[in-house]
Homo-oligomer: A and B are copies of this chain.
Amino acid sequence: MTNKVTVRIKDIAKMAGVSQGTVDRVLHKRGNVSSDALAKVNAVLEKIHYRPNLIARSLGKGKSVRISVLLPYSNSDPYWEEAKMGILQAQENWDHYRVAIEPFFYEHDGESSLESMAMAAINLKSDGIVIAPIYLAQAMTAFNLFQENKIPYILFNTNIVKAKPLSFIGQDLFQSGRLAGQLMSLMNCTESFDAVEFVVLHIGEEFKDSVHLIEKERGFRDYFKKNRKDNPKVISVNIDSNKKSFKKEIEKFIENPRVKGLFVTTSNSLSIVASILSTHDRDDISLIGYDILEKNLKFLKSGVINFLINQNPKRQAQQGISHMVNHLLFHKKIPANELFPLEIIIQENVDSYLSSGIH
């Protein structure tokens, strides 16, 4: 095959007739190189393909890199708990490369708001930020802070195009909604949808600022509009699961015979809806939601939940951190957009996702 001669800086120096120091200065564009020496080194560099040894580099450079990760406070929300696990694993992973990873958990408002956590991360002299910006307004001011301080940032989970981040890691939420539309169609395969209603449920306390839910709904509606000749009615509602009337409101839909499907866009409260649905005799209502969470499993297995779309928060967080390390430490090019696959989970493949750990 190809001859695997690893070319080192030392070799380049010899070939160019200069010292290692000079080659290093050329490679890293540090300046202070005579045009004569520059030419000689460049001549060699054009002939051979130099691939720096990243292992040696990370050993050699004494300076350590600090990455802060900002994400919603995870207590009682298993979705963000997963992301948190990803961060902890990443800490172990990158430890030896002299990378320190610091998580910051923010809440919707109050003293640990996104903004104040952003300030905290900046005060910690972070070299890079990885952030899941689920609240639009607060996030924008955070981005401004990062820009003022010239700290690069990578988004995960929720994309905000205006933010102009280094990179975004997540899913195409519009497409995710479309997928839910197709899955809904699969579940009602022979029926015409003209007399049918589907309900999109956004469940949570602070949905007003949440970009991601809206995209999912748009995609869901788009699917029926573009891909079907019949025309189901799509209703969408924002409900707070803590409200007393919550159960009643859900039951209102479940008891409506025209309703044939529920699409819960928020990952956290799906199991509550499932548990309400399971007490009614409505096998003909399909339930679609998000994420392989412990509390969703039994409803998936019993058939109350028909489909889960997996968002893989853990791997999203890890990938965001990976990219930041590659940027900061290895000066690698990183993709502006990394869209994760929309994973479909049903009874017969859920175990294969559980056992495979990382996925």
Contact = CB atoms under 8 A, between A and B. Distances in A.
Nearest to A340: B356
Interface string A329-354: 00000000011111110111101110
Nearest to A56: B59
A343 B346 contact: no
Interface in A303-358: 338-344, 346-349, 351-353, 355-356
B189 A348 contact: no
A11 to B, nearest CB: 15
A207 interface: no
Given A190-B190, A343-B341, A356-B340, A96 B348 contact: no
A58 B339 CA distance: 33
Nearest to A181: B348
Contacts of A102: 1
Nearest to A186: B186
B97 A179 contact: no
A348 B178 CA distance: 7
Contact of A189 (B55, B187, B343, B359): B187
A84 to B, nearest CB: 13
Contact of A341 (B175, B179, B181, B352): B352
Given A54-B96, A56-B59, A186-B186, A344 B340 contact: no
Contacts of A347: 182
Interface string A158-189: 00000000000001100100110110001111
Nearest to A60: B59
A95 B187 contact: no
Interface string A47-73: 000010111101100000000000000
Given A54-B96, A55-B96, A179 B348 contact: yes
Nearest to A190: B190
Nearest to A64: B4
B53 A96 contact: yes
Contact of A356 (B186, B188, B223, B339): B339
Contacts of A190: 189-190
A179 B355 CA distance: 16
Contact of A339 (B6, B179, B340, B352): B352
A351 B178 CA distance: 12
A223 B348 contact: yes
A341 B182 CA distance: 21
B53 A55 contact: no
Contact of A359 (B1, B59, B341): B341
Interface of A: 1, 4, 6, 51, 53-56, 58-59, 95-97, 100, 102, 171-172, 175, 178-179, 181-182, 186-190, 223, 338-344, 346-349, 351-353, 355-356, 359
In the A-B complex, the 5 residue pairs with the closest CB atoms:
A342-B349, A179-B348, A344-B344, A182-B348, A342-B352
